[in-house]
Structure 1
Amino acid sequence: MKAIQYTAFGTRPKVVEVDRPSPGPGQVLLRITASGLCHSDEFVMSMPEEGYPYPMPMTLGHEPAGIVEELGEGAVGVSVGDAVIVYGCWGCGVCETCADGSENLCLTGMVSPGLGVDGAMAEYMVVDSVRHLVPIGDLDPVRAASLTDAALTPYQAIKKVLPRLVGGSTTVVIGAGGLGHVAIQLLRELTPTRVVALDIGQEKLDFAKENGAHEALTSDASAAATIKELTGGRGATVVLDFVGADVTGELAVACAGVGSAIVVVGAGLGGVKVGLTSAPYDISVQTSLWGRRKELLELVEMAKRGQIKIHTTTYSIDDGEKAYDDMHAGRITGRAVVVP
């Protein structure tokens, strides 16, 4: 079968031929119907060889949608032919955080398809357990695949600060791309907050407005001052940073108000520096990693009701290398999805 793999350090992904996998006891074989690309893939491919934690080569793709093709011995709870998406946080299932449903925070170490085991950029993939499958019914798999990360990640980040997002509040979204444009939709659907999106380039600013942002500003040195003006000098109530670089961390602090919250979601190898005299008083800063399976179930129901819609650009698996090149170059609006 065809697969898109990271095959050697310092190289780009390649379309290769590999053997079709078979499910072991308790596992499930999926015929992949759609697989979303993510900047986390770029992060993995930028890691140095020394200390690299994953197998090589490795099939990429941690946003899978598929059809149940075959059940391993003892696998129950789904049937051949079921349409599903895959919850990507594969924890041990027995530690304290897994017992609480937070496999994304597994204390013994989490792996994911495409981030530790072979993923969904292929015609077939093996899922380790039925508990990581979420039925989608008649949802379009191209739209549904990226619910697993592009929607789940901002959804959890927003739920962390939801009590703050009351009438009269302002939320700044830094980065209106694959995750950010879904965050804007979720904020509009779940809260009365005013949403201000920050990004670079008129096309991305227009895209943010199309997805519900009340304001869309160029992410530059003047953005924080503009936000202070919009809020009568108070600053943002919440800042969601979907980039995670040092420069966006500085911008987040500059936009924030007294008693505000910053949530860092992006894996841009940077962060937020705060101190008593270098940030608004009583500010809180936290990170947010992926989300819980229960939250993915909630998002599926929202998608079925038309409350969120992920903007996608599709590629065939033969064009998978181009898809990754387009993402790397910033040519993707929303989410890129490979359709085998």
Structure 2
Amino acid sequence: MKAFKLEQWNHPGTYVEIPKPIPGHGECLIKIRAAGLCRSDLDMLDSKPNSAPWATAISPGYILGHENAGIIEALGEGISDLKVGEGVVVHHLKHCGVCAFCVNGAEQHCEKYKRGDVVLTRGAGIDGGLAEYLVAPRSELVSIGDRDPVLYAPLTDAGVTAYHAVKSFIHRVRPNSTTAVIGIGGLGAYGVQFIKILSAAKIFAIDKSEGCLTTAKELGADEVLLSDASTATKILDMTNGNGIDYIVDFVGNDQTLALAAKISRPQGRIVVVGMEGGSVKLGWNHMATSCEFALSMGSTRQDLEDVCSLATAGKLRIDMQRFSFDQIQEAYDLLRAGRLTGRAVIVM
């Protein structure tokens, strides 16, 4: 079968021909219909040998693609609740199911698959879905029945990662609470939607792109602000000096982290999803008192179930730009240049 592999660090991906995989006990063979592309793919491709976090944690030589959806082609022994021809999406994070984290519902921190600051996932250390076929355990699959897998592919990382971050504080949100989403890209757009769907909080959307802010407004943001040196002052003025209760940073560089700390409110929460390597001073006089600071990592299979249910109910807008399998490099180039409309999805 055809596949697209990361074979060397700091080199473009390569098209290869490899044997079609065979499902074992408890596994399914999936004919891939769609695979989303992610900025973390670029981070991996651009990694220099022995550089953190990717090249110090995993080895090259794997198929890229961690946003995967397709059709069941064949069932391994022991599977009776799925059928050939049924649509499924793949939860890309591996988990053992028996370690302390898995047992307590935090399988994205599974001890067995932890590698330094990252976790082995499909498309990152383990073969992913930029291929004609993929084998995955039944425990990593969510059925979507006869629905179009192409529409669900971006939800398996961009959607579900944003959902997990929002879920970490949404139970504390009150009707008069304020929230801020920093970075309205592939994940931030879902962040705005989940806050809107799950709460009555006021949403501030912040980005350096007017186009992204237009999208945020369409998705339900109450206030949109261009990111510049005056953004924190403007937000404090708009909130009568109170600041923001709950902040999600989908960028994670020095500037966005500093902004989040400046606009934080006592007893609030700053959740960082973006992995742009920024740092910020925390503690007294650097952020609001009793405000929590957290790094949100990945998602759970239950999160994916929830997000797919919202999509099936027609509650999510799923923006994507479709590419064929032979256009993977073109799609990555557009992603790198910031010229995509929604998520890049390779349609097989």
TM-score, normalised with respect to structure 1:
0.95
- Partner of residue 44, structure 1: 44
- Partner deviation per Cα, 1:242-281 (whole Å, 9 max, x = no partner): 0111221111112212222100011112244211122222
Q: Equivalences for 1:9-48 in 2 at 5 Å?
A: 9-48=9-48
- Name which of structure 1's ranges 218-227 and 104-113 shifts more when overlaid on structure 2: 104-113
**SS of residue matched to 2:307:** helix
Aligned to 2:126: 117
* Aligned residue type for 1:6: L
Cα distance change of structure 1 residues 285 and 46 upon mapping to structure 2, 3 Å threshold: same
Are residue 338 (structure 1) and residue 346 (structure 2) matched?
yes
Greater displacement, 21-30 / 167-176: 21-30
State how far apart, in whole Å, the 2-side matches of 1:83 and 1:235 are.
Answer: 44
1:312 alignment partner in structure 2 = 320
Q: Deviations over 1:106-155 (max 9, x none)?
A: 1222421101211011111111x101110012332222112111111111
CA deviation profile, 1:52-96 (whole Å, cap 9, x unmatched): 433422211111101111223444432221110011111112112
Q: In structure 1, what is the Cα distance between the partners aligned to 2:80 and 2:281? A: 48
Are 2:180 and 1:172 aligned? yes
Is 1:103 matched up with 2:107?
yes
Does structure 1 residue 216 correspond to structure 2 residue 235?
A: no
* Cα deviations by residue, 1:39-60 (Å, 9 ceiling, x for unpaired): 1212222333125433422211
Letter in 1 for 2:144: I
Q: Post-superposition, which runs of at least 4 consecutive aligned residues in structure 1 deviate over 4 A?
A: none
Could you tell which deviates more after superposition, 266-275 or 307-316?
266-275
Contact 2:71 2:84 in 1 (8 A): yes
The match for 2:116 is: none
| CA shift for structure 1 position 222 | 1.0
Q: Does 1:72 align with 2:81?
A: no
For 1:52 and 1:169, the matched residues in 2 are separated by 41
Flag structure 2 segments of 5+ consecutive residues without an equivalent.
114-118
Match of 2:236 in 1: 228
Partner of 1:323: 331
Partner secondary structure for residue 166 of structure 1: coil
Structure 1 stretches lacking a partner, 5+ long: none
Change (3 A) 1:255 1:122: same
Can you list the C-alpha shifts for 1:164-192, whole angstroms capped at 9, x where unaligned? 32112111101101110011111111111
Indicate if the aligned counterparts of 1:249 and 1:273 stay in contact, CA closer than 8 A: no
Structure 1 segment 246-285 matched on structure 2, within 5 A:
246-285=254-293
Q: Identity rate of aligned residues, in percent?
A: 40
